[in-house]
Amino acid sequence: MASQFTRRRVLGLLSIGLGAGSLTTLMSACGPNAPAQPATSNTTTPTNVPAPAPTAAPAAAPTVATTSGAGGTLSILMWQGPTIANGHLSQGTKDYVAARFCCEPLLTVSADGVFTPVLAAEVPSMANGGLAADGKTVTYKLRPNVKWADGQPFTAEDVAFTFQYVSNPETAAVTAASYASLESVEAVDPLTARLTFKQPTGGWFVPFLGYNGTVLPKHALANYVGAAARDAPFNLKAFGTGPYLIQDFNPGDVLTLIPNPNYREPNKPAFSQVSIKGGGDATSAGRAVLQTGEYDYAWNLQVEAQVLDQLLQGGKGNLVLSPGGGVEQIFFNLADPTAEVDGERSSPKSSHPFLTDQRVRQAMALAIDRDTMAKQLYGQTGSATPNVLTIPTNLVSKNTSYEFNPDKANQILDQAGYARGGDGIRVTPAGVRMHVVFQTSTNSLRQKEQDLVKDGWQKIGIETELKSVDASVYFASDAGNPDTYSHFSADAEMFTSTPDSPFPLLYMKRFYGRAPSTDWAQKSNSWSAANFLKWTDDQYDTLFEAVGTELDPAKAAVSWQAMNDRVINAAVVVPLVERKGVDAKVKAIQGPKPGPFDVFSWNAADWTRTA
């Protein structure tokens, strides 16, 4: 997950709307680290999300450590260890985890689109004057009396500086896409920051939201903007307004954090130290929590359901499941990966010999048994889905469906003139053998998914060759390596992706292709463009261009759903399983509430250990 979500930010993927007030009605003033308070007017809730059902109160509340540091050491195992603690220079989700222990955004948001202020005093709205009617400016009121861990005051100057830092091209911030729509950020006064956008936008909340939106201390990084950004001591000795700061850091191995002495919440955080150990694999990480209890928390357990069930029998802990873990999906290449044009495979100048035919793609989708994949390989951690856009919940289309029907798939191919040869493999009317290379990252779960897909495709006469690529290569931003997913040197490929904000413009940009020379990933743009499928559709492009400036939330939701439906009906992508986020914790640890738009450390101040 860490690697794929690095790229997710780039795509919005980057792994990635709704209008002003779009997600809602105003409810509560408490931030993620604030004590519970009566409902006021600071949290924004989606209009289309039903209220949660009431839950019964526990018979007896567990005894928890309520004094700062009383919980001892919190030990965390991450099979991909953090390598940097500046979220804006992150190399993956693992690094955002480290950064969020220390630094905070203005807002955070849940899977159903509920906004909660963090460093903001309230969620901007038209009612409180925070959102301008023209959709071009947002004014944030900031929490008063907040200090950085070194005792310096937090002000709007830090918010403005963060934008300058991220938007400087030489900084090479991986979060730059989240701020690209901004024209300027100014400090109106010490506790007021005004954001001005280049054009009206329904995604006013994208900058300074969640793990992409952490605010940086100007006084610590003013001399490290641009080309000097990677040299800042802060990157390995991060501190912020959050509950912890870094004591020691050996990148990729061990990270040690201690409480922020100037943290604003009394008696928080609960732990005297947080120790994060990197290395190993997902299965061994799960075992270290669920079976042996050697660690308190394990991150990102992309492990087969059967293995997880066995680990849970150890009795030491339980799973931490969260919505929005991403959609496992298969993408089809509409360019030809076998032909080299001007030194480039999958060139925009080429055309796939049979995947450009929508009937072939639809048949291949019909031959995939999504229910078996979800039930046998994912169990409680995932469910079959017909949609690529599954969060926030009010953007989910109800117009789509999926079907496992090899007979229907064979009928489609027969009628389209793709006849079987003597060995049962089909050939195109032009005589091309229907052979596909199907690639994904190296992972035991994914290889079993590949086997299931191959079995279905072989049965409809499409010869399938499986390829697995090490995740560090597959998800890399390496323009020189043909095995990255953005090069798409195969016929079909699979990975998990999901929006990283409730405004999924960048996530859906992978299907936008109005200007192939710039919108399609290719040699001329170092394969950095979002659309690596080489697909274009005028109706989709029109919807995409309009939704970015749509301020009416209801109209925007209809457009997002229509865009989802367009790519599903065209079968350029086959969504397989809607995954949950899967971590593990020992039973004594209370408080983790990870979600799709922020990492598990977002509310670390609220974690406790029961006695």
Mean pLDDT, residues 14-33:
27
Q: Say yes or no: 195 and 237 in one domain.
A: yes
Q: Is pLDDT above 60 for 607?
A: yes
| 174 found inside a domain | yes
Judged by average pLDDT, the poorest of 171-175, 228-232, 326-330, 583-587 is 171-175
Q: Say yes or no: 96 and 180 in one domain.
A: yes
Q: Is pLDDT above 60 for 181?
A: yes
Q: Say yes or no: 478 and 576 in one domain.
A: yes
Amino acid at 394: N
Look up the CATH number of the domain holding residue 596.
3.40.190.10
Residue 70's pLDDT band (cuts 50, 70, 90): confident
Q: Say yes or no: 353 and 485 in one domain.
A: yes
Q: Say yes or no: 144 and 274 in one domain.
A: yes
What would you report as the CA-atom Rg of the chain, rounded to the nearest whole angstrom?
A: 24
What's the confidence (pLDDT) of residue 324?
86
Cβ contacts of 538 within 8 Å, gap of 6 or more: none
Q: Among residues 352, 365, 362, 492, which one has the least CA distance to residue 430?
A: 352
Residue 66's pLDDT band (cuts 50, 70, 90): low
Q: Say yes or no: 76 and 123 in one domain.
A: yes
Question: Which 3 state secondary structure label does DSSP give 283?
Answer: helix
Q: Say yes or no: 353 and 265 in one domain.
A: no
Q: Which domain holds residue 133?
A: 31-39+65-315+587-609
Summarize pLDDT for 544-574 with one digit per residue, the tens.
Answer: 999 999 998 899 999 999 999 999 999 999 9
Q: Say yes or no: 294 and 333 in one domain.
A: no
Q: Say yes or no: 392 and 371 in one domain.
A: yes
Q: Dump the DSSP string for 207-273.
A: TTBGGGGPPPPHHHHTT--GGGGGG-GGGTS---SSSEEEEEEETTTEEEEEE-TT-SSTT--SBSE
**CA–CA distance, 187 with 259 (Å, rounded to integer):** 29
Mean pLDDT, residues 56-81:
68
| 216 found inside a domain | yes
Q: Say yes or no: 296 and 331 in one domain.
A: no
Q: H helices within 321-437, ranges in order?
A: 358-366, 370-372, 406-415
Q: Is pLDDT above 70 for 604?
A: yes
Q: Say yes or no: 266 and 391 in one domain.
A: no
Q: Is pLDDT above 60 for 52?
A: no
What's the confidence (pLDDT) of residue 519?
94
Residue 10's pLDDT band (cuts 50, 70, 90): very low
Q: Which two tokens stand for residue 371?
A: 């229910």
Strands (E), 251-357: 254-259, 273-278, 297-298, 317-332, 340-341, 344-345
Beta carbons within 10 angstroms of residue 183's beta carbon: 13
Q: Say yes or no: 268 and 334 in one domain.
A: no
**CA–CA distance, 447 with 440 (Å, rounded to integer):** 8
What's the confidence (pLDDT) of residue 521?
93
Residues 542-549: contacts with CB under 8 Å, at least 24 apart: 544/505, 544/508, 544/509, 544/511, 544/512, 545/514, 547/17, 547/202, 547/505, 548/17, 548/199, 548/201, 548/202, 548/203, 548/505, 549/135, 549/199, 549/200, 549/201, 549/202
Contact call for residues 31 and 117 (beta carbons, < 8 A): yes
- Does the pTM surpass 0.85? The reply is no
| 269 found inside a domain | yes
- Higher-confidence residue of 111 and 83: namely 83
Summarize pLDDT for 333-375 with one digit per residue, the tens.
Answer: 999 999 999 999 999 999 999 999 999 999 999 999 999 999 9
| 527 found inside a domain | no
Q: Which two tokens stand for residue 550?
A: 């749509």
CA atoms within 13 A on the CB side of 398: 3
Cα-Cα-Cα-Cα dihedral sign, residues 176, 177, 182, 183: positive
**CA–CA distance, 322 with 594 (Å, rounded to integer):** 6
The residues facing 590 across adjacent strands are: 608
**CA–CA distance, 23 with 554 (Å, rounded to integer):** 9
| 7 found inside a domain | no
Mean pLDDT, residues 3-20:
32
| 525 found inside a domain | no
Residue 477's pLDDT band (cuts 50, 70, 90): confident
| 88 found inside a domain | yes
| 482 found inside a domain | yes
Amino acid at 204: W
Look up the CATH number of the domain holding residue 457.
3.10.105.10
**CA–CA distance, 602 with 110 (Å, rounded to integer):** 11
Judged by average pLDDT, the poorest of 32-36, 203-207, 273-277, 410-414 is 32-36
Residue 397's pLDDT band (cuts 50, 70, 90): very high
Q: How would you label 560-590 residue by residue, b for 16+ Cβ within 10 Å and e otherwise?
A: bbebbbbbbebbbbbbbbbbbbbbbbbebbb
**CA–CA distance, 330 with 576 (Å, rounded to integer):** 7
- Going from the C-alpha of 285 to that of each of 78, 216, 333, 379, 412, the distances in angstroms are 7, 31, 35, 19, 45
Q: Among residues 190, 188, 217, 211, which one has the least CA distance to residue 16?
A: 211
Number of domains in the chain: 2
Q: Among residues 79, 600, 606, 584, which one has the least CA distance to residue 320?
A: 584
